[in-house]
Amino acid sequence: MNAQEKPKVLIIIFGATGDLAKRKLYPSIYRLVRNETISQDFAVVGLARRNWSDDVYRQNVMESVEQAFGDCEELESFASHFHYQSFDVTDEGNYLQVKELVEKLESEYDTNGNRLFYLAMAPEFFGSIANNLKEYGLKETAGWTRLIIEKPFGHDLKTAKELNSQIREAFDEEQIYRIDHYLGKQMVQNIEVIRFANGIFEHLWNNRFISNIQITSSETLGVEDRSRYYDDSGAIRDMVQNHMLQMVALLAMEPPIKLTTDEIRSEKIKVLRALRQLEPDHVHEHFVRGQYGSGVVNDEEVIGYRKESEDLVFSNTETFVAGKILIDNYRWAGVPFYIRTGKRMSEKRTKIVIEFKDIPMNLYFKSDREHHPNLLVINIQPDEGIALYLNAKKAGAEALAEPIELSYKQGAMPAINTPEAYEKLLYDSMIGDATNFTHWDEVALSWKYIDPILQVWQNEQPNFPNYESGSMGPKKSDKLLGQDGFHWWEV
Ligand X SMILES: NC(=O)C1=CN([C@@H]2O[C@H](COP(=O)(O)OP(=O)(O)OC[C@H]3O[C@@H](n4cnc5c(N)ncnc54)[C@H](OP(=O)(O)O)[C@@H]3O)[C@@H](O)[C@H]2O)C=CC1
Q: State the binding site for substrate.
A: 181, 185, 219, 238, 343, 348
Nearer to ligand X by Cβ, of 31 and 151: the residue is 151
Residues making contact with ligand X (CB under 6 A): 15-20, 48-50, 87-90, 120-123, 150-152, 229
Helix locations, 232-345, DSSP H? 234-235, 245-252, 261-274, 283-286
CA distance 373 to 106: 60
Q: Please report how close the Cβ of residue 183 comes to ligand LXAUTJHC at its closest, in angstroms.
A: 11
- Please report, in range form, the residues annotated as the binding site for NADP(+): 15-22, 49, 88-89, 151
Q: Please report how close the Cβ of residue 297 comes to ligand X at its closest, in angstroms.
A: 19
Residue 219 near which of ligand LXAUTJHC, ligand X, none (CB within 5-8 Å, type-dependent): ligand LXAUTJHC
- Our finding on whether 308 is near ligand LXAUTJHC (CB under 6 A) is no
Q: Find residue 298's DSSP bridge partners.
A: none
Tell me, yes or no, if 243 is annotated catalytic. yes
Q: Please report how close the Cβ of residue 21 comes to ligand X at its closest, in angstroms.
A: 6
The count of residues interacting with ligand LXAUTJHC (CB under 6 A) is: 3
Q: Are strands 349-356 and 210-218 parallel, antiparallel or unpaired?
A: antiparallel
CA distance 33 to 29: 6
Q: Please report how close the Cβ of residue 46 comes to ligand X at its closest, in angstroms.
A: 9
- How far CA 480 is from CA of 15, 280, 286, 471, 476, in Å, comes to 41, 17, 7, 17, 6
Nearer to ligand X by Cβ, of 219 and 267: the residue is 219
SS3 for 110-157 is CCCCCEEEEECCCHHHHHHHHHHHHHCCCCCCCCCEEEEECCCCCCCH
Asked if 85 and 93 count as a contact pair (C-beta separation under 8 A), the reply is no
Catalytic residue, candidates 155, 243, 286, 439 = 243
CA distance 344 to 57: 33
- Our finding on whether 355 is near ligand LXAUTJHC (CB under 6 A) is no
- Please report, in range form, the residues annotated as the binding site: 15-22, 49, 88-89, 151, 181, 185, 219, 238, 343, 348
Question: DSSP secondary-structure letter at 284?
Answer: H
CA distance 127 to 86: 20
The single residue among 106, 192, 219, 442 that binds ligand LXAUTJHC, judged by CB under 6 A, is: 219
The single residue among 192, 238, 308, 428 that binds ligand LXAUTJHC, judged by CB under 6 A, is: 238
Question: Which residues lie near ligand LXAUTJHC (CB under 6 A)?
Answer: 219, 238, 350
| Residue positions annotated with a catalytic role | 243
